[in-house]
Amino acid sequence: MSKKLNQSFCEACKFDIPVLSKKEIQELAPQIPSWAIFEEEDIKKLICSFAFLNYKDSLVFVNKVAALAEKEDHHPVIILEWGKVTVLWWSHKIKGLHKNDFICAAKTDDIYKGN
C-alpha cells in the first residue's frame, strides 16, 4: 500500500515533468474528499474553502498553511475573508496538478482538523 498523502513530502517540481493524468487524479482525489478540481485558463487546480467562527481563527489557519507552504517549498493562493479561508493548490511550473498539490491539500485538511 502506498503512503498516505498527508504522510508524504513534496518533491522538487521541474518544468518538464508532466501534469497528472485523469487516472492519477482519480486515484488521489479520494484522500482529499472536501477538495474540488476546477479548471481556470486551461489549468487544473485544487480548491477548498474552510469555515471559521471569527477572523482571528481564520488568520491563525492562514499562518499555519503559509508555514506548511514554506516547509514544503510549494505555495498556494490563500484568500482570507471573515469566517472563511479559501486555498488553491496547483503547480505553477507545470501549469497543472502534480502529486505535490494533493500532498499539500491533505496536509491543509490536517491543519484544519487540528492534527
Strands ordered across the beta sheet of 43-51: 36-40, 43-51, 84-89, 77-81
Cell triple for residue 15? 518544468
Give the CATH number of the domain where residue 49 resides: 3.30.1360.20
Task: For cell 481564520, name the residue.
Answer: 58
Terminus-to-terminus CA distance in the chain, angstroms? 22
**What is the number of structural domains in the chain?**
1
Give the pLDDT band (50/70/90) at residue 45: very high
What domain range is 106 assigned to? 34-113
Is residue 65 in a domain? yes
Please answer whether residues 21 and 98 qualify as being in contact, where contact means their C-beta atoms are separated by less than 8 angstroms: no
Q: pLDDT tens for residues 61-103? A: 999 999 999 999 999 999 999 999 999 999 988 999 999 999 9
Is residue 28 in a domain? no
Is residue 6 in a domain? no
The pTM assigned to this predicted structure is: 0.91
Is residue 83 in a domain? yes
